[in-house]
Amino acid sequence: MTKFMDVHHGMEGITADQLHQAHQADLAIESDENVHFESAWADPESGTVYCLSEAPSADAVQRVHERAGHKADEIHAVPLSV
């Protein structure tokens, strides 16, 4: 398993409730792909959302996000962390 940071653009004006619902939608189906979404952070002004996950692959992360209705624009493996 590896940690991934994925990035969504175009979510200008996202609200706390919308972020919560999107995260819950991921959590509801993530186990199908052996993915776990740990945290997400959102900047409503620039419309940027960052999601930190642990997953077997970037494709698995994207499949969960896609099924939940919010494909990621970027997905980076982040094997190093402090």
Which stretches of the chain bind a second copy, using CB under 8 A?
3, 5, 14-16, 19-20, 23, 39-46, 48, 50, 52, 76-82
- Report the residue number, 51 or 63, with the smaller CB distance to a second copy: 51
What is the closest distance, in whole angstroms, from the C-beta atom of residue 33 to a second copy in the complex? 19
- Report the residue number, 43 or 73, with the smaller CB distance to a second copy: 43
What is the closest distance, in whole angstroms, from the C-beta atom of residue 2 to a second copy in the complex? 10
Amino acid letter for position 55: A
What is the closest distance, in whole angstroms, from the C-beta atom of residue 81 to a second copy in the complex? 5
Q: Which of 40, 60, 59, 43 is nearest to 9 (CA)?
A: 43
HEC assignment per residue over 4-56: EEEEECCCCCCCHHHHHHHHHHHHHHHHHHCCEEEEEEEECCCCEEEEEEEEC
